[in-house]
Structure 1
Amino acid sequence: MSTPSSFDELYKVINKNNPFDVPPIVTGQDIWNGSFPDLTTLNAHASDAVFEVIEQVRSGKPKVTSLAFRAEIGVGKSHLIRRIRQRLQADKSAFFVYANKYGDLNLIHYQFRQILADSLKQSNGQGITQWQELAAAMVNQVVSSKKPALELVEKFPLALAKNHDLIDKLTNAILKAKPKVGDPDIVRAILWTLGDSAHAPFAIRWLAGKELSDAKAKELGLPNPTREIKLLEADALSAALQIISIASDYNPILICFDELEGTEVNEAGYFKSQVVGGLVKDLFDAIQQSDVTKGVVILSVIPPTIWEQLVNVLKGSGVEGIGDRLSSKYPEPLDLKYADGEAVVSIVDLWLQEFYQSHNLVPPNPVFPFEEEKLRSLGSEKPTIRALLKWCRDNFRVSPQPVNQKDLIQKAYERELSQDGEDFLDDSELIARAIYLGLTTLRGQTIENVLIQDVTNQIKPVKENNRSIQFKIIATENGKEEVIGVAVIQHTHGLTVGSRMNKLTMYDTFKLTRGCMIRSQDRKIKKYWEAHNWRIKLDQMGGEFIHLEAEQVKPLIAILAVYDKREGYGVSEDAISTFIADSQIAFNNLLIKEILSNPSNIISDDDSEAEPVIENESNEVKPTFIDITDEVNIDIDSFLE
């Protein structure tokens, strides 16, 4: 046994470093790539149940089954989900789909198709995505010389360069082997994921139901999705089911729904949990009727209060049976257990092992500087994992220092700001909420010679507005009252854009003196859209058009994320408001200044000479496949050598 390090060595390191000084929240990305200790014996009954049902559906009997975890927030559900994901990744026993962000609740089927595409885009830890694993399995089914996915991914771009018809040949070969496939384009798009960066990302975008440029769609031989949002929603579930059906030929699929809590509602007035519960019901019923080979497992992680609402409150609402679909395997959800005294000690031990090893230290006992008796006492209080880690963070010092809220918010803000991607540009409501939060901290301040008196998101009449104008700014400029109605309109469908712009011109109805539209510059207003006329009218009425730039709104999105997760980060609303004011995130924000300043920018029209299209009709054009008459004699393998 190693000799314990001296107290001075331990004291010096402990007082300068804190292994628990990390955000206690596990994000969605952490489920895929996070690295944190997990006590595998805690709630092992739940993870074991998942692995068991995956093996049961592998035979296709039943085709689909479901189970639910009933879990309080902070009890360690994210650690459990990550444990399941890692196990499936390690032994390649199932495809894993993780849903925790649902976007527009009015388009839940379309959102699920995007969730499916994004999940399969995640890496298996060896640089190979789940899409590529699926594509490789499909190719290996029709070639004589099977190759590992990694080798196929490395060789495929060169093989494509040698033979431009390779995708056509493989597609047709796979369709012969899989006559049940309803949409050959899906097979074609999956195969393109084996390509390089010039092809794979666009194929995945198409698989998510998103539009490609006409040139890229032609290059890939794929039809562009319809721009009619209702048709996108109507087709999304069918497309997702076809993807699931194809993937299930090779491995079971685990679909995990998480983060169902929240106050967001759709246009019908249903909460997020109810909308997602309805999606699970739709999936369960549709998969039962579909052709899946190795089965699908649906896992839902639900807080107790949400479960009661879904099972009891919805009775008589026309969406009965959700509870049976959420947990078909067991009569009731599996309850996740709180850590007891023994588990608390083991969790802290796990966290500290890596810490002391990284500093080449040997503590006098595994949980130093904590006392094992105190940790066991904490266990008797049934703490959540989140609460336990917070306690450890606050007490991991020989002389504990009070936690500084400003420092916590700064770290949380930097963490959220570092998140990759600009997916938020598709979410008008999220952008509007971020701007609104920043403006609420500026009441009583003067920016661009404008004194901000108030800002409100209560736009009346509510029915007339229909959420088009997201908030109003009441201000004074040169002694004159100004009421600015603000609408973030990132939508790509002309009817939606026109309807929302129309509301911005209704100054008398909403008691405005100016309408302000915010929209990305690359999202043109088509000249044949009705929205084009409203753009002209708003301009004539002195309205303002602001080009939305991602970098300008990103800080506001980041601090909004901290605000939304404030309980998890352990910070208060007042502290966040103070942080926004002290750091001048909102005061110096160029987008906010542009909103308050006199109108200057104009959203550009689309100057293309393309013929107008009827907005409620699909422009989808199905490509014709090359007919390979002598397909049986084609040596596909030679192109992959």
Structure 2
Amino acid sequence: MTISPIEELNAAIQSYNPFPTGAAVVREQDVWEQGFPDVTTLNAHASDAVYQAIDRVHHARSAREKVTSMVIIAYKGVGKSHVISRIHHRLKADGSALFIYAGVETYDIKFVNYSFLQTVADSLNHNGSQGVTQWQEVAAAMVNQVGRNVNSDAEAIPAKDLVEKYSQTENNNWVDDLVAKYRRIRRSDPDIIRAIFWTLSENNSDFAVKWLSGKNLAEVRANAMGLPNPSTEKNYQNAEAFKAISQILSLVSEYKPLVICFDELDLDSRVDPESGLTRPQAIAALIKPLVDDIQLSNQSKGFVILTVMMPDTWTQKIKFMSGVPDRVSKRGEPIQLTFMNGDSIIQLVSLWMKEFYQSSNLIPHSPIYPFEENQLRDLGRNSDSSARRVLTWCSENFKIAGVTNIQPSENIVELEDCVEIDFVEIEYNRTLIAIENSIATLLEEKITLAEALWLGFSTIIGQKLENVKINSLEKIKCSASEKSYSLDFKIIGEENGNPVKIGVMVLQIPGGQGVQAGLKRLIDYQRFEITRGCLVRSKEINPGATKAQGYLSDLLSPRLGGEWVKLTGDNIKTLVAIRSLYCSRENYDFTEAAIFDFIARKKLVVDNYIIREILSDPSGQVPSNLSEE
């Protein structure tokens, strides 16, 4: 092994800083995919406690002992989400448990059950340890149980083989046959059983997962798959969602232990005016019946609920809720994460530098160069040395002491060109990648999409765009039962000197009564005090839906002068990324002004297609190339 010349090491250091601000902020993408370098000994007591809990519920003899829960507390940047990421990657590697990650910052706390059902369905649609999705792993285990029930000597068929087999089967009778045989073994909800089996068919898997998440399918698709569409009334959906969650968790845990992680409870301190609960309290109120009410068999492999939060969230918002704390943490007192010391800081920096040097095909004389050991140990003497703070310090001090006149190669950027790093842009780009990976799911989330549009317009208040000067925005109140088909907000301004009030409605539910009800509201200009209605939607509206089509014709008519703006992932992802970054700004120590300045400099809002289309003169036309309902 030959040590690389110091000149080459220095040139590499001058070319690229591997420690951007915010690098230690673990996102949902990092939880599911390969995340950051992990010092496995750091806060190992917390992750080990989870592994031990999995083993206990797995081997517990009584159904009453098959569910447990625990809480991890730590201050910002200490590594709560990083521990979750570590746990997931271990479980995926050894196949010892299935995994659900609930980042609850986007939950509508009025409808927590429904939001969590979507989390369960989406999480189990991530790949597990067998090279297929976790849903497909469960479905394969169910198929193999059916086989053993017929022939006790039957060999288990690998999940990949079953996916290949049923993806190529044109006759759908196999689903009916499997449902009938499985129901002789376990009397679970036949529709949920059917949907899980459908995940083995690649052509139908996405639709099955969509149905399992509580969303409607197009009527033709639902009929073909034999799945009934649920009501779109939100209160009913929320109540039914918990029944579905109970059935799914009970069934899934028959085959493998299950770990459910609740994260991002602390990002929103607002109180819901109807329930009087904060976001952490609403999640705690969800966990209580998960622990108390889900029926498991003595053969179940059980499940573990892990919730991570700030210490003040536990002591001030959860601990004094009646009958709740001992359900949120059956284990007892929360597990406290610790700050880093000199040894763990050196290990962490060594891991980051190892990746840096390996990517450049270099071998350093010291694994932490250009840092010195005494510098890093000094950091460890601080009482609040979090991983995030250490990596931020590394970012700011990643330079060569006393070295000048380094001649970089032609592919290396001069150091002077690297000094002005836009950390907001770095995090925006990372956020955008995460959004792109989940855009299909996000296109179904009306609240998230509407909030993204609202935030976008709020950054250009006072400006003139498409001949409309935006003076203010106003949210439109509605009852909880109308949320999925309500107007979201109105843009108040002036167009060519005349007052204008544009009512904006994101309407992503499939056809049916919900679409009809939404369009009926959108054309009620007098009730909502608007001069123009704007429908934002990616899906076609069933030509056979007579009333809905009539309301749509009214909206687009010259009399009402409304607009249908086509929603696409490419056009909305920028705004959703802005919203996500804005909501998480405290994690990165970004100010609102810094984010708004970045948005303005990059013209992320003023050049956005959807923003401009909402403001532009209505075409009166139905958009082309809409997606299937």
**Interval of TM-score (by shorter of Structure 1 and Structure 2):** 0.7 to 0.9
Q: Which of 230, 235, 243 is the equivalent residue of 1:225?
A: 230
Superimposed CA distance per residue, residues 529-583 of structure 1 (whole angstroms, 9 cap, x where no aligned partner): 6896698489687452332322322222222222223334454322322222222
Aligned-residue offset at 1:150: 4.3
The equivalent residue for 2:411 is: none
Query: Contact 1:544–1:602 at 8 Å: present in 2 too?
Result: no
Query: Alignment partner for residue 182 of structure 1, among 181, 185, 188?
Result: 188
Offset at 1:11? Answer: 0.5
The partner residue of 1:138 within 135, 139, 142 is 142
Counterpart code for 1:366:
P
Q: Distance in 1 between matches of 2:271 and 2:518?
A: 19
Alignment check: 8 A CA contact 1:497 1:531 kept: no
Q: Are residues 1:37 and 2:37 paired?
A: yes
Aligned counterpart, 1:49: 49
The answer to whether the 8 A contact 1:562-1:569 is kept is no
Q: 1:525 to 1:575 in 2, by over 3 A?
A: farther
Conserved? CA contact 2:487–2:522, under 8 Å: yes
User: Partner of 1:98 in structure 2?
Assistant: 101
Query: Structure 1 residue 335: deviation in Å?
Result: 0.9
Shift of 1:322: 1.7
1:417 has 2:416 as partner = no
The 5-angstrom pairing of residues 48-447 of structure 1 reads 48-60=48-60, 61=62, 62-101=65-104, 103-124=107-128, 126-141=130-145, 142-143=147-148, 144-153=153-162, 155-157=164-166, 160=169, 165-176=173-184, 178-179=185-186, 181-195=187-201, 197-263=202-268, 266=272, 267-287=274-294, 293-312=300-319, 314=321, 320-330=322-332, 332-381=333-382, 382-398=384-400, 407-418=422-433, 419-420=436-437, 421-447=439-465
Q: Report the equivalent of 2:412.
A: none
- Aligned partner of residue 460 in structure 2, secondary structure: coil
Residue in structure 1 matched with residue 406 of structure 2 by the alignment: none
Letter in 2 for 1:10: L
Say whether the 8 Å CA contact 1:66–1:329 is kept in structure 2: yes
Residue 72 of structure 1: SS of its match in structure 2? coil
Q: 1:525 to 1:434 in 2, by over 3 A?
A: farther
Match of 1:478 in 2: 496
1:555 and 2:574 are equivalent in the alignment: yes
Structure 2 counterpart of 1:364, which letter? H
- Letter of the 2:237 partner, please give it: L
In the alignment, the residues of structure 1 paired with residue 173 and residue 610 of structure 2 have an alpha-carbon distance, to the nearest angstrom, of 48
Letter matched to residue 598 of structure 1: D
- SS of the aligned residue for 1:398 comes to coil
User: What secondary structure sits across from 2:330 in the alignment?
Assistant: coil
**1:184-203 deviation digits (Å, cap 9, x = unpaired):** 232232222222x2122222
AA partner of residue 236 (structure 1): A
Which blocks of at least 5 consecutive residues in structure 2 are unaligned? Answer: 402-414, 624-629
CA positional deviation for 1:321: 1.6
| Counterpart position of 2:613 | 594
> 2 CA distance for matches of 1:94 and 1:121?
15
Mapped contact 2:555–2:563 kept (Cα < 8 A): no
Measure, in 2, the Cα distance between the counterparts of 1:88 and 1:300.
17
Greater mean deviation of Cα atoms: 2-11 or 370-379:
2-11
Deviations 1:587-613 (A, max 9, x none): 222322222233333669xxxxxxxxx
Letter paired with 2:7: D
- Letter of the 2:607 partner, please give it: N
Distance 1:346 1:445, change over 3 A: same
Give the AA of the match of 1:597: S
Q: How far did 1:328 drift?
A: 0.7
Mark the runs of 5 or more structure 1 residues left unpaired by the alignment. 315-319, 605-641
Q: Which moved more, 1:278-287 or 1:127-136?
A: 127-136
Tell me which moved more, 147-156 or 72-81.
Answer: 147-156
Shift of 1:26: 1.7
CA distance in 2, matches of 1:469, 1:203: 29
The Cα of 1:323 is off from its aligned counterpart by 1.0
Alignment of structure 1 residues 569-584 onto 2, 5 Å: 569-584=588-603
Alignment CA distance shift 1:229-1:442 (3 Å): closer
TM-superposed CA distance for 1:230, in Å, is 3.5
Is contact 1:136-1:152 (8 Å) kept?
no
Q: Is the 8 A contact 2:100 2:119 kept in 1?
A: yes
1:433–1:460 CA distance, 2 compared to 1 (3 A) = closer
Distance 1:85 1:528 in 2: 49
Give the Cα separation in 2 of the matches to 1:290 and 1:384: 42
Q: CA deviation at 1:472?
A: 3.9
Structure 1 residue 520: Cα displacement: 3.6
Cα distance change on mapping 1:526 and 1:304 into 2, 3 Å:
farther
Contact 2:71–2:335, Cα closer than 8 Å, also in 1: yes
Identify if the C-alpha distance between structure 1 residues 360 and 135 changes in structure 2 by more than 3 Å, giving closer, same or farther. Answer: same
- The residue that corresponds to 2:410 in the other structure is none
Deviates more, 1:40-49 or 1:553-562: 553-562
Q: 1:85 to 1:560 in 2, by over 3 A?
A: same
Q: Distance in 1 between matches of 2:230 and 2:245?
A: 14
What secondary structure is seen at the aligned counterpart in 1 of 2:216? coil
AA in 1 matched with 2:11: K
Shift of 1:525: 9.6
| 1:617 matched residue in structure 2 | none
Once the two structures are overlaid, the 10-residue window that deviates more, 11-20 or 285-294, is 285-294
Aligned-partner residue type, residue 456 of structure 1: L
**In the aligned structure 2, how far is the partner of 1:483 from the partner of 1:165?**
53
The 8 Å contact of residues 516 and 545 in structure 1, kept in 2 or not, is answered as: yes
Instruction: Give the secondary structure class of the aligned counterpart of 1:36.
Output: coil
The SS at the match of 1:48 is helix
* CA positional deviation for 1:333: 0.7
Q: 2:564 matched to 1:546?
A: yes
SS in 2 for 1:65: strand
Contact 1:67 1:327 in 2 (8 A): yes
* TM superposition shift of 1:259: 1.0
Q: 2:557 touches 2:620 (CA, 8 Å); kept in 1?
A: no
Query: How far did 1:353 drift?
Result: 1.6
Residue pair 1:152, 1:194 contacting (<8 A) in 2 also: no
Deviation string 1:278-329 (CA, Å, 9 cap, x unpaired) is 1111211112677762212111111122212333564xxxxx2221111011
Shift of 1:357: 2.6
Change (3 A) 1:496 1:204: closer
In structure 2, distance between residues paired with 1:202 and 1:519: 19
- Report how many aligned residue pairs link the two structures: 591
Contact in 2 for aligned 1:251/1:294 (Cα 8 Å): yes
Q: Is the 8 A contact 1:248 1:292 kept in 2?
A: no
Distance, in Å, in 2 between the alignment partners of 1:248 and 1:408 is 42
Q: Is the 8 A contact 1:10 1:363 kept in 2?
A: yes
Helix, strand or coil at the partner of 2:361: coil
Q: Is the 8 A contact 1:340 1:376 kept in 2?
A: yes
CA distance in 2, matches of 1:515, 1:78: 42
CA shift at 1:392, angstroms?
Answer: 1.3
- Cα distance change of structure 1 residues 113 and 450 upon mapping to structure 2, 3 Å threshold: closer
Q: CA deviation at 1:148?
A: 4.9
Indicate conservation of the 8 Å contact 2:32/2:85, yes or no: yes
RMSD: 3.4
1:455 aligned to which of 465, 469, 472 = 472
